[in-house]
Chain A
Amino acid sequence: MSEGEKLLDVRGLTVRFPTSDGVVQAVSDVTFSLSRGETLGVVGESGSGKSVSNLAIMGLLNRQRTMIAGEVEFLGRDLLTLPPNELRKIRGKDIAMVFQDPFACLHPMYRVGAQIAEAVSAHSHDGKDKAWERAVELLDHVGIPNAKSRARDYPHQFSGGMRQRAMIAMALVHNPSILICDEPTTALDVTVQAQIIELIEAVKQEFNIGVILVTHDLGVIAEVADSVMVMYAGRVMEYGPAAQIFDQPQHPYAWGLLDSMPSVERRLAALVPIEGSPPSLLAPPSGCPFHPRCRYRFEPCPTERPPLVAPVPEAHPDACHLPWDDKVKYGSERSITRLGDAA
């Protein structure tokens, strides 16, 4: 993982939503850190808690209706215990967020430039003209052609990719330290997706910030992430450098995810799906949450929860009971099923 200054230290983050049907265990005991210049990819299927963790970090969950535990340390300050007005000074300024749907995130009745200028004014005392200038400058920066005149457009005059660029411009207004991107390319076409990924990468380099990239698309993660956190049923299953996660994944769930993914590079001999469906978070399975779908489960899995630790010193942390030798063995077998004899 990268060597920059440590920006974010999340320890034991737990989020519970009490509902009339019971308590939803959305996020359980999530621990990770983020440094300057690092892109952390968070992958998992819908309902794995990847978005909720980020909303909790941003303080965007209703504290009255949500139980949040753990620590989120941002440059030495615990965001979870900060009073709301202190948190507001950080949110949108030092930590900014880009959401999935650029259609829903811009107000249809206000000019794009005005909406970015509003973000400028939220954290500074600059006059209106100055805020507008900054908005135009940023639109230009994220690659909107004729930024000066396009700033006067309404969101419906922008294409999907341009709206997402505008959202990124809005996130950058106060030179944040952390940019959280929650499925930033999911709503976009593949050629536009490529442009946005390049933009996020360029922004990260230029502003020297830390990026948390949440997505269900492993391909996007493989392209840009330095480190990867694989989540399932609200828990971290595997956490390590991207190269290791993709070349030698250690957790059966990560194997399942990678093996069920079709490849654009070759027609695979077989897609190996994960049988069954993700569990309900109202009553997640005991022990390892993945055990009901895991083909390698053995005695301890249904009862004991595996801790997130590195099985051997040279490996990265995973939450799985399988002995290391078995992991190496099963891991090498899986590529043969997937790729056929060609492998």
Chain B
Amino acid sequence: MNATENLVEVEHLTKRFQVKQGVFARGKSEVHAVEDVSFTVRRGETLGIVGESGCGKSTTARLMTRLLDLTSGTVRFDGRDISKISQRQLRPLRREMQMIFQDPYSSLNPRKTVGQIVGAPFAIHGQKKAKTRVQELLETVGLSPEHYNRYPHEFSGGQRQRIGVARALALSPKLIVCDEPVSALDVSIQAQILNLLRNLQSDFNLTYVFISHDLSVIRQIADRIAVMYLGRIVEIGDSESIYEHPKHPYTAALLSAVPRASTGHRARIVLGGDVPSPIYPPAACVFHPRCPRFHEGHCDVETPQLRELAPGQEAACHYPLEKWPMTDDELRQAEGALRADRPHLEGAAHE
């Protein structure tokens, strides 16, 4: 194995699902679930993927781990291209990438004991006599070895999620993809699991891809974040820079929409309307119909590409935010970063 800096490299990842529409399901169209997504995950870091429901964050995770087949693009895991290899060839790699799921109720088989559930990875990969190892794992995640013969229904939501974590850790993976692991938990329990994941990361040198719709959770756990909207990454970079100085108007709107548990009011961008259908995504910049900085003839014509706007921070926007926070008026008076070489947009920028 070569020891490159990046554990996962994803390039131009695209996934379209066929759907049937219309009378007698004659019409065929495509859901653009993930469109041209590229990012890397560095060894030992936590990459947070954040976005609203339907933005493609879970699909991205499933494509990365090849639980879904790619429509196009490449995924390299640990230096090896896994985007086209067969399921059989994938199997040995499965040990190295594990998943933790959102719902601790439906992701554990109710008819199997905890020992069987956590021991399953060993059985699948042909390792026998795993009982002591399983009991060690249970202790690692804060359960007791005596829980070995119990069934999932005997545990609370938080404890079940610990069982899910133990199962993911079983084969000492390099990468753990956590898909909304704390969303179903109460806040006091959520903090227990977040602390557990953080401790395990340093103890076992794990790399996480952490998917959540909750921006506070992502801020607490992620080193870098990717913000997704309608199947595309609109902004990616170091967590601190993005939270302190968001460049994409969608990121800013998302941040300002989060209710805060401190009193005192603040400016807020309330986005109108809803997320458009991924079957008929808007032309060019997919955010343009809801964007406060929309410039006609530019944003709906030319697709913005991710470009570096600050060290370690890229956003896909023609009119990125100059500062943060901004007032409504400042927000609308976008100084087009491309205006100099696009004189025909001069008028639009000052409308």
Residues of A within 8 A of B (CB): 45-46, 159, 161-162, 189-195, 197-198, 216-223, 242-243, 246-247, 256-268, 270-275, 277-278
Contacts and interface: CB of A to CB of B under 8 A. Distances in A.
A274 B254 CA distance: 29
Interface in B241-264: 243, 253-263
Contacts of A246: 261-263
A247 to B, nearest CB: 7
Contacts of A198: 270
A258 B261 contact: yes
Nearest to A258: B261
B37 interface: no
26 contacts: A45-B188, A159-B274, A161-B274, A189-B275, A190-B258, A191-B52, A191-B270, A192-B52, A217-B259, A219-B261, A221-B261, A222-B262, A246-B263, A260-B192, A262-B216, A263-B216, A264-B243, A264-B260, A266-B219, A267-B220, A270-B195, A271-B194, A271-B195, A272-B191, A273-B192, A277-B159
A267 B261 contact: no
B213 A260 contact: no
Closest 3 CB pairs of A and B: A219-B259, A260-B191, A273-B191
Contacts of B156: 277
Contacts of A266: 219
Interface in B237-291: 239-240, 243, 253-263, 268, 270-271, 274-275
Interface residues of B, number: 41
A222 B261 contact: yes
Q: What is the predominant secondary structure among interface residues of chain B facing chain A?
A: helix
A194 B217 contact: no
B63 to A, nearest CB: 22
B259 A262 contact: no
B336 to A, nearest CB: 25
A191 B291 CA distance: 13
A273 B188 contact: yes
- Report which residue of A194, A256, A266 has the largest number of chain B beta carbons within 10 angstroms of its beta carbon: A194
Nearest to B222: A267
Interface string B36-55: 00000000000000001100
B270 A194 contact: yes
Contacts of A219: 216, 258-261
A298 to B, nearest CB: 21
Contact of B53 (A189, A260, A263, A278): A189
A281 to B, nearest CB: 13
A256 B188 CA distance: 7
Interface string B187-216: 111111011000000000000000001111
Contacts of B214: 262
Given A260-B191, A267-B219, 12 more contacts: A189-B275, A190-B213, A191-B257, A221-B261, A260-B190, A260-B192, A261-B191, A263-B261, A267-B220, A272-B191, A277-B159, A277-B189
Contacts of B253: 191
B187 A216 contact: yes
